[in-house]
Amino acid sequence: MLCATPRSGSTLLCDLLESTGVAGHPAEHFEALDSTGLPRQPRQYFNPGAQLTGLLAPTDPGAPDPELRLEEAFAAGTTSNGVFATKVMWGFLPDLIRRARTRTGQPHAADVAVLEQLLPGLRYVRVTRRDKVAQAVSLWTAVQTRVWRAGDDDAPAAEAVYSFDGIDHLVRQLTSQEAAWADWLQARHRVAPVVVYEELVADPQAVIGELLAALGLADAAVEAPAPRLHRQAGDRSAEWIARYHAEREAQARGPVAAKRSPGVTWHRGTLPREDRWGALEHGGATIWFTGLPASGKSTIAAALERELLARGRHAYLVDGDNVRHGLSGDLGFAAEDRSENVRRVAHVARLFADAGILALVSLVSPARADRENARRLHDAAELAFVEVFVDTPVEECARRDPKGLYAQARQGQLSGLTGRDAPYEPPAAPDVVIRTQDESVDAAVDRLLTLLADRDL
C-alpha cells in the first residue's frame, strides 16, 4: 500500500513498480470503488472553509462506477506472483478502513487489524515529496485543468489560474496529510520504507531496487524499470513556484519585518532543510518567552537550555539584554526601537531554527503585534513558533528586581520601564502560560519539555 498524498510521485512510482512486473498495476484501485475517485473530484482537496472552489472547474460528471467490487480491484492489480499493490491517499484511508470493517464483518476491530486481514501480508510504503510548493503548484494546476498527467488524451478542461491562497492552502494541506500518514503508521508501530519523489526522479532504478529489497521482493524477477517519465512541470510551474515564494516572503515581512536592502534577491540554499536537520538528527524551532522585566523569562529559558543540551538537543538562548549589546546596540527604548529590536531578534531566531537549533528567545517584547509578526515570519518559513507567556504580577517583579531596574525607576533614574510607565500587552492566545508565583522553575521546565515532545519538536 503506497501511503501517498496527491502529486507526491505515487503515479510515477506505480508506473515504475508495474514495469518491474513485481507489483501489478498499483493505481488507485480503492478510490475507483467510490464516486470520490481522486482525479475526478478536485473539490475534495479543499476544506469547506477555504472558499477556493469557485476558482475550479465544475466536477467531472463521469464519476467511476461505485458498484465496482473489491474482487475486480484485486484482479486488476495483482501479478502472477501474488503481489497486489495500490496507492491510497490520506483522505481515502477512513473510507478504506470502513470498507475493510464491513467486508471482514468486524465493525469495531482496530483499523490496521482489519486492513491486514483484508490484505494479508500487507506492507506499507510512504511516498513523500520534499518540495511542497512544487507539489502544491502541480496539484493546483491539475485540479483546474483536470489534466493529471502528461500524455493524457484529455484536453485541459480549463485554464489554470495562479492564486497565492489556492497554492498556500494546498501547501499546508499536503504538509499535514503527509505528517498524518507518518503519525498514523508510527502510532501503529508499522515500519514503512519511504520513497522520496526527488530521489525517485533522479535515479528511479536505484530507488526501486532499494524499495523491492526493503519489501523482501528483491529476488522476484525484476526487469530493469522502463519508466514512463514524462513530467508535466514546465516553465509555468517554475514561474508560479518562484512567485509563490516571493509573495510568501513579502507577506511575512509585514510592517515590522518590512526591511530589505534594495536590489537583493533571496538565495534559496541548495541543501534542503530535511538534509540539514537529518544530519543533526533533530529539527529547529523557536520558543519565545515574553513577559515583564524580572518576570523570570531568562531564568526559565536558561534552565530549559541546560536541560535540552543535557538531552543532546542543540538549543541556544537569545537573550534580549545581550542582543542590545551588539546587534541592537544602536536602539533605544522608544516604541519604534522596541519593535525594531523584536524584528531583528525574530529574524535571528528564525535563522537558528532553520539551522536546526531550538532558539530560546527571552525578550520582554511588550507589543502583541510585534510578537505576532515574529510568529508570521516563522509560519512563512514553516518553522514552529511557541509563545510562552511568563505571567508574573508587576508587584512581584518589582520585589524580585534582580537587575535593580524597578529600584532605578522608583528613584527617577529610569523611565519607560515596561509594566511601570510603558505598556505591556499580554498575549491573547499564548501556547504556554507560566505563573511563576505558583510554579517553580523546575516544574515550568518540565512542562515545556513535555510540550516540546508532544509537538515533536
Question: Which residues bind to ligand ADP, rule: CB under 6 A?
Answer: 291, 293-300, 362, 390, 400, 402, 436, 439-441
Q: CB 392 → ligand ADP: shortest distance, Å?
A: 8
Whose CA is closest to 140, among 250, 42, 12, 13?
Answer: 42
- Closer residue to ligand ADP, CB minimum distance, 22 or 405: 405
- DSSP SS3 for 114: helix
Give dist(CA 252, CA 375) in Å, integer: 9
What minimum distance in Å lies between the beta carbon of 369 and ligand ADP?
21
> In the structure grid, which three cell numbers stand for residue 453, read together?
515532545
Task: Establish whether 163 is a catalytic residue.
Answer: no
Residues in the chain: 457
Q: Which contacts of 302-305 are long-range, i.e. CB under 8 A and separated by 24 or more positions?
A: 302/362, 303/441, 303/442, 303/444, 303/445, 304/360, 304/445, 304/448, 304/449, 305/360
Q: By C-beta, is 433 or 441 nearer to ligand ADP?
A: 441
In angstroms, rounded to a whole number, what is the distance separating the alpha carbons of residues 162 and 403? Answer: 54
Q: What are the residues facing 87 on neighbouring strands?
A: 2
In terms of CB distance, is 47 or 322 closer to ligand ADP?
322
Nearer to ligand ADP, 143 or 294 (CB): 294
Give the whole-angstrom CA distance, residue 315 versus residue 302.
10
Rounded least distance, CB 303 to ligand ADP, Å: 8
DSSP 98: H
CA dist 240 and 163 (Å) reads 9
CB of 452 to ligand ADP, least distance (A): 18
CB of 362 to ligand ADP, least distance (A): 5
Q: At closest approach, how far in Å is the CB of 443 from ligand ADP?
A: 8
Amino acid at 323: V
Closest approach of ligand ADP to the CB of residue 398, in Å: 11
The alpha carbon of residue 449 and the mean position of all alpha carbons in its chain are separated, in whole angstroms, by 21
Catalytic member of 80, 362, 365, 440: 362
Smaller CB separation from ligand ADP, 297 or 313: 297
Q: Hey, what's the cell of 168?
A: 498556500
| Distance (Å, whole) CA 101 – CA 114 | 6
**Residue 415 or 440 with smaller CB distance to ligand ADP:** 440
- The grid coordinates listed for 376 are 508570521
CB of 405 to ligand ADP, least distance (A): 8
286 beta partners: 359, 385
For residue 340, give the C-alpha cell.
525594531
How far is the C-alpha of 85 from the C-alpha of 19, rounded, in Å? 13
Nearest residue to ligand ADP by CB is 296
The 8-class DSSP code of residue 82 comes to: S
Phi, psi of 2 (to 5 degrees): -90, 110
- Looking at the Cβ atoms of 89 and 292, the one nearer to ligand ADP is 292
Cell digits of residue 113: 487489524
**Which CB sits closer to ligand ADP, 114 or 300?**
300
The amino acid present at 388, given as its one-letter code, is V
| Residues carrying an active site annotation | 362
